[in-house]
Structures are given as structure tokens and as C-alpha cells.
Amino acid sequence: MTAQDFILKSYQTTVENGSVKWESPSNIALVKYWGKKEHQIPENPSISFTLSNCKTITEVTFTKKESEGFSFDVFFEGIKNEAFKPKIQTFFKRIEHYVPFLKEYHFKIETSNTFPHSSGIASSASGMSAIALCLMSIEQILTNYSTLDAPDGFYNSTYFKQKASFLARLGSGSACRSVEGTLVVWGNNNTFEGSSDLYGVKYEEEVHSNFQNYQDTILLVDKGEKQVSSTVGHQLMYGHPFAKERFAQAHDNLAKLKTILASGDLEAFVKIVESEALTLHAMMMTSMPYFILMKPNTLEIINKIWAYRLKTDSKVCFTLDAGANVHVLYPENEKASILEFIKTELVSYCQNGHYICDQIGLGANQIEF
């Protein structure tokens, strides 16, 4: 598929109004996306686990209007929210070409998260994918569920999800990996046939049972606003002294992960995942300007995890986003022991003792009325 294939060419505007609703999860990258080109094209491929409990629930009500330009209101947890509007305005501008009905309707966007807003958990992946999916449902309604744009003339779920992921990417890169589960690859690469820079692709290769219901407990080390937004962070990869090597490494790690996911080699998994997390932060520390997003407690937790692995035969490991919080990843069969370890040894490093238990999930769901 090319970007051209996602331009909606014909639709009817006889529909006066309607409502659609989706819930879409967050995701956690194993191989990180860090660095992008124009139009939200990633510099390197990434792969993520889709999460299950951390999600955004969004209802979009659309009403036909006569006025020009975009018109929308955003309600976050029931309260009108002006702060989210600029991001959505930018998103609408970027996607208007592909969903031209955007200017013909007024949209009421009502959204809420299952995780606390001030938790330092990025909600852009779940939030942008939820809106993208709602817009795809509206597109379906306006085309009466048939489209000449899809290769076979109707909205099969592949076209629907691909375009939803394509639109979500234009909202926030990592959001394109939230539409499906349990693993999603985004970015052209030689390891996965059918991979694309334009949208995330569901991982269809063999996955060993060791990874079934893989657990992710998110330790909330710092709930404050990030010192540097991901968008600014990506820009720092322009002219970065190690960029070329880093992008090549991501391709290598992706290829290695494919073998690991099939064989169930958890020791090898731990090495790739932790190295990816530290490399992401190393890129921030070696850019100009430079940043340290980890906090002392982030390092305390990492050291505790390493010590725990040394004294047990646990396969627990950590990964990080562009922030101080720690995602603790472990196989389902270690659930009881790791939760005990977290409660006794790690919780004291979390802000107000807060952490969130999650596990890998299957992707977004439409909520019927």
C-alpha cells in the first residue's frame, strides 16, 4: 500500500450525525522508534508489545455543519479540555487529505484513560489510535461500508486497520502500533515481508508460548511532565553523531528478536530489550542538547532487577520509554514471585508507591452502543 491508497475519494454527506466509540491500548516498544523523517516516517523499524489494561476510551459524535474549517470540542474525563486541542488540530491538518470529510462535520471528542493522566504514562499512542479508529468508523458510515479505495472494494478488516494505523501514525508515530496485538512491527525492514513505514503490521510469525500473556508492571517513578517531549527528542537524532549506527542496530535487533520470539530464548530476549532501553537513553545523553530522563530511582530499580536476576533464575527484565518510569517485563509463570519482589523491593522507589499491572493484549476494540 502507498499513501495514495489511503485517500478517501468518494463519500456521501447525506448522513447528518452519528456517534462512534473505540477503546485503544497503549504499547511498549521492545526495539525503539527514536528518530523520524518528514511526515512521521521512522528512521528505523520498531516492534512493540500491545498492552491490555492501559487504554484510552474515545467517543466521537459528528454533526453536519456549514461553516468552513475544522470544528471540534474535546472533553477529557467529562470536562471540556482546551489543552488537548492544538495537538488534535495538528493531527486533523495532517490527515485531512486522507479523510476529507473532516471539515464537513463538527466533532465532539469525549475521551478518558484507564490509567491516571498524571502518571507519566504517555497517552499519545492510545489516544491518537482511538481517535483514528473513530474516524475510520465514520468513514465507513459515510461510504455505506463500501469503498473503491480498498483493493477489493469494501472495508475488509485489513484495509480498515491499515488505514486506522496509517492515520494514527500521523497523530503520533508509536500510535500506529496500538491498533492490533499482541506484537506489532512498524517501519520498512528486510526481516518482515510486508512491513511498512506507513503503518504498523500485526506480527504473524511464530511466537513461543514463553511469551504468552507476558506481563508488564509499570513502576511510576516520576509522574511529572517530561523534560523533553518525544517529538523534540526525535529531532535530536538529526545530525546525532551515532545516528547511523543506531538505526542499523535497530534493524539487527529486530532480526534477532524474530529468532528469539520463535525459540522462546528468554535470556537472549532480556539482553536485546534492556540494551534497547539503555541505547534509547544513551542517544538522549549524547545528543546536543543532551538530556538525562532517568531519575536516581530509575537506576535503583534497574540495579535491583539485575541483583534479583543474579540470585534467582528469573527472566525478569526492564524497559524504558522516554521518561523515568520503568516497565518491568516478565513471563506469566513468574507473576506471583515478581509481584512479591516488586512489593517488597521496588515499590519504595515509586512515587507515592504507585505502579500499574498490565500484560500484553490483542489491540483496539469498537464499543457498540
Would you call 281 helix, strand, or coil by DSSP? helix
Residue (231 or 348) nearer to ligand DP6, CB:
231
Cβ-closest residue to ligand DP6?
173
Query: What's the min distance (Å) between Cβ of 243 and ligand DP6?
Result: 15
Strands 71-76 and 105-113: parallel
96-125 residues in contact with ligand DP6 (CB under 6 A) are: 122, 124
Instruction: Map residues 331-350 to x or -, x wherever contact with ligand DP6 holds by CB under 6 A.
Output: --------------------
From candidates 46, 182, 279, 287, binder to ligand DP6 by CB under 6 A? 46
User: Which of helix, strand or coil describes residue 69?
Assistant: coil
Output the smallest distance, CB 281 to ligand DP6, in A.
9
Using CA atoms, how far apart are residues 154 and 148, in angstroms rounded to an integer?
7
If you search the block for the grid coordinates 483493493, which residue do you land on? Answer: 151
Rule CB under 6 A: choose which of 26, 44, 189, 230 binds ligand DP6. Answer: 230
One-letter-per-residue 3-state SS of 303-348: HHHHHHHHHCCCCCEEEECCCCCEEEEECHHHHHHHHHHHHHHHHH
User: Binding of ligand DP6 at residue 234 (CB under 6 A)?
Assistant: yes
Biggest CA–CA distance in the chain, Å, is: 68
Amino acid at 23: E
Binding part of the chain for ligand DP6, among 2-10, 150-158, 172-180, 247-255 by CB under 6 A, reads 172-180
Q: Does 21 bind ligand DP6 (CB under 6 A)?
A: no
Nearest distance in Å: CB 235, ligand DP6: 9
Nearer to ligand DP6, 143 or 174 (CB): 174
Q: Any contact of residue 315 with ligand DP6 (CB under 6 A)?
A: no
Considering only residues 21, 32, 240, 315, which one is a binding residue for ligand DP6 as defined by CB under 6 A?
Answer: 32
For residues 236 and 34, the answer to whether their CB atoms sit within 8 Å is no
174 sits near ligand DP6 (criterion: CB under 6 A): yes
Q: Does 203 bind ligand DP6 (CB under 6 A)?
A: no
269-308 residues near ligand DP6, rule: CB under 6 A: 280
> What's the Cα-to-Cα distance from 48 to each of 141, 180, 335, rounded to whole Å?
31, 10, 20
Residue with cell 447528518: 16
Residue 25 binds ligand DP6, judged by CB under 6 A:
no
Cα-Cα end-to-end distance for the chain = 32
- The residue assigned the cell 472495508 is 155
Verify binding: residue 358, ligand DP6, rule CB under 6 A. Answer: no
CA dist 323 → 28, 33, 123, 291, 353 (Å): 13, 14, 13, 10, 17
> What does the binding site for ligand DP6 look like in residue numbers (CB under 6 A)?
29, 32-34, 40, 46, 122, 124, 172-174, 230-231, 234, 280, 321-322
